């Protein structure tokens, strides 16, 4: 039995708040793993992904989901994408590595990010105040994703439902990001 034990803390202490027509929550326990595509290794990796998750490698601006719906793949860069999935244990990188072994270059990104979920009828009007990307459903459809900036902070935004968005931003500035989103919601509700 080790003398010292380490407790995990989330970026925003599990923030959760209901507003008029909008709900804002921190998403914890979401593992985030990046996979980089080796040069001339696209085919091999695509096959691995297919066999491991039963879905395709996401094209830019899109996300795909594993057959069991538990893993979401998000395109982040021409030769790189993220895997998002819930887990209780902090070993997302190893889990993915076990599936892909050397087909892709894997980096556990979980602790780089703070994750917010903004949902409700006012969520889009709130994001209108900080998000330069067009989130109109005709343009930014279900499962669409975009990497952009809001209030000087890099953000990865994903539409997970008609009225719900997943917002990923850097963990060290999570409090500033939360503040930016909260102010936006308050300004429109």
Binding site for other proteins (CB under 8 A): 1-10, 34, 36, 38-40, 60-61, 75-80, 90-91, 105, 107-113, 128-134, 136, 139, 146-149, 151-154, 170-173, 175-177, 179-180, 183-184, 187
Chain centroid to CA 71:
11
Smallest distance from other proteins to CB 44, Å: 13
Contact 134, 140 (CB under 8 A): yes
Return the number of the residue (15 or 177) whose C-beta is nearest other proteins: 177
Smallest distance from other proteins to CB 129, Å: 5
| Among candidate residues 183, 178, 41, the one with its CA nearest the CA of residue 126 | 183
Smallest distance from other proteins to CB 177, Å: 7
Chain centroid to CA 73:
9
- Cα 27–182–178 angle (5° rounding)? 50
β-partners of residue 23 are 18, 119
Return the number of the residue (59 or 67) whose C-beta is nearest other proteins: 59
Smallest distance from other proteins to CB 32, Å: 9
Task: Provide the token pair at 82.
Answer: 């993220």
Contact 31, 87 (CB under 8 A): yes
Return the number of the residue (133 or 164) whose C-beta is nearest other proteins: 133
Return the number of the residue (1 or 43) whose C-beta is nearest other proteins: 1
């Amino acid at each position: 039995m080790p003398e010292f034990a380490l407790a995990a803390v989330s970026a925003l202490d599990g923030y959760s708040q209901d507003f008029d027509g909008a709900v804002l929550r921190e998403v914890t326990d979401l593992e985030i793993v990046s996979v980089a595509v080796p040069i001339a290794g696209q085919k091999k990796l695509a096959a691995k992904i297919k066999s491991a998750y039963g879905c395709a490698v996401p094209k830019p601006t899109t996300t795909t989901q594993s057959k069991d719906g538990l893993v979401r793949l998000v395109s982040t860069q021409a030769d790189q994408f993220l895997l998002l999935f819930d887990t209780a244990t902090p070993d997302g990188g190893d889990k993915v590595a076990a599936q892909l072994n050397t087909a892709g270059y894997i980096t556990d990104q979980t602790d780089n990010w703070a994750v917010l979920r903004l949902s409700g009828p006012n969520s889009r009007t709130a994001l209108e105040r900080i998000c330069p990307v067009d989130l109109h459903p005709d343009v930014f459809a279900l499962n669409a994703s975009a990497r952009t900036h809001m209030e000087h902070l890099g953000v990865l935004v994903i539409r997970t439902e008609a009225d719900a968005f997943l917002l990923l931003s850097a963990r060290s500035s999570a409090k500033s990001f939360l503040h930016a989103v909260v102010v936006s919601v308050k300004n429109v509700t």
